[in-house]
Amino acid sequence: MRVAFFGTPAFAVPTLRALLVAGHEVVAVVAQPDRPSGRGQQLTAPPTVELARLSGIPVFQPTKLRSGDFPDQLAAVSADVAVVVAYGRILPPALLATPRLGCVNVHASLLPRWRGAAPIQWAVLAGDAETGVCTMQMAEGLDTGDLLLTERTPIAPDETAGDLFDRLAPLGASLLVRTLADLPKIAPRAQPDVGITHAAMLTREMAPLDWALAATTLHNRVRGLSPWPGTTFQHAGQPVKLLTARLAEGEGEPGTILPDGRVACGSGALELVAVQVPGKRAVSGAEFLQGARIRPGDRVG
């Protein structure tokens, strides 16, 4: 099958690789433009573009989708189907209708739960017990298309969004290959009208922790915002990154240090497993408390 592939970040790479291994002819890879990256802020190609160039696949990185050369360029590659995985932009109706068999999207949630930009993170933030990936026929709305295939998986109690990314990416790749193999035989299913939630983009402003919240809520925040933007608490006038935490027993005034490296929350407590002071290496919670001379009964944040 002739496939036009739309995808930008590392999450999309396993699906692109799976298409090649399965013998599909990937006639184009479409990704967002190169972005500044690293300390030197040098322009860096997206991971999908790097793989495409290694594989000899034509690359398009349009700044405009509705005008300019790209609509004609997409039509010229004569794709049977377009596959979209975390491309990062909404395709206009004219592009959705260009491939002969339309556009198939790989989405990392159990739709209609967590439509939008950050479904993996929000599943963890909300404390969901399970998530998954699904393929759908793309429509004009945001993740509103008819469902094709779905694969479910549990979320472990201490699993982070980063961990889940690593598990769902190959799961989505496998599901997409199965979807294309059976595409003529799959009966699309309309998404339910109930259970719709939206996964907004994450921001740096979400990082600070409020110890007055329940420990379970804070634990989910630490997991769901890892690795980006991360979570922080204030100590000695600077934000300290809380890299890893664990639910623990204990009660006290929110923010109070309890024995064994625990912090009292609005209800319950969190154990500080790994923290990082700005400009320093990551250390255990016990090492941080000892180095900062913070004792039980003291408060952080």
CATH number of the domain that residue 282 is part of: 3.10.25.10
Q: Is a pLDDT exceeding 90 seen at residue 12?
A: yes
Give the span between the Cα atoms of 227 and 222, in whole angstroms: 9
Question: Does 257 lie in the same domain as 135?
Answer: no
Question: Does 135 lie in the same domain as 40?
Answer: yes
Residue 251 has a pLDDT of 95
Structure confidence by residue, pLDDT tens digits, 233-252: 999 899 999 999 999 999 99
| Mean pLDDT, residues 32-48 taken together | 89
Structure confidence by residue, pLDDT tens digits, 160-213: 999 999 999 999 999 999 999 999 999 999 999 999 999 999 999 999 999 999
Domain count within the chain: 2
Residue 41 has a pLDDT of 81
Range with lowest mean pLDDT among 36-50, 185-199, 215-229: 36-50
Structure confidence by residue, pLDDT tens digits, 104-115: 999 999 999 999
Question: Does 283 lie in the same domain as 138?
Answer: no
Q: Is a pLDDT exceeding 90 seen at residue 273?
A: yes
Q: Is a pLDDT exceeding 80 seen at residue 38?
A: no
Residues 240/232, Cβ–Cβ less than 8 Å: yes
Give the span between the Cα atoms of 127 and 159, in whole angstroms: 10
Give the span between the Cα atoms of 183 and 217, in whole angstroms: 41
Which residues, in sequence order, are CB contacts of 58 under 8 Å at separation 6+? 27, 28, 29, 52, 77
Structure confidence by residue, pLDDT tens digits, 83-103: 999 999 999 999 999 999 999
Structure-model confidence comparison of residues 141 and 255, the more confident one: 255
Q: Is a pLDDT exceeding 80 seen at residue 40?
A: no
Question: Does 168 lie in the same domain as 215?
Answer: no
Domain span at 239: 204-291
Query: Is residue 49 one of the residues assigned to a domain?
Result: yes
3-state secondary structure of 69: coil
Total length of the chain: 301
* Mean pLDDT taken over the chain: 96
Give the span between the Cα atoms of 148 and 136, in whole angstroms: 5
Q: Position 163: which residue type?
A: D
Residue 4 has a pLDDT of 98
Question: Does 171 lie in the same domain as 218?
Answer: no
The residues with which 214 forms a beta bridge, in sequence order, are 267
Residue 261 has a pLDDT of 86
Structure confidence by residue, pLDDT tens digits, 64-84: 999 899 999 999 999 999 999
Structure confidence by residue, pLDDT tens digits, 130-147: 999 999 999 988 999 999
Question: Does 51 lie in the same domain as 185?
Answer: yes
pLDDT bin (cut points 50, 70, 90) of residue 129 is: very high
pLDDT bin (cut points 50, 70, 90) of residue 39 is: confident
Percent of the chain with pLDDT over 90: 94
Query: Is residue 218 one of the residues assigned to a domain?
Result: yes
CATH of the domain at 26: 3.40.50.170
| Mean pLDDT, residues 10-29 taken together | 98
Structure-model confidence comparison of residues 40 and 253, the more confident one: 253
Last residue of some domain: 198, 221, 236?
198
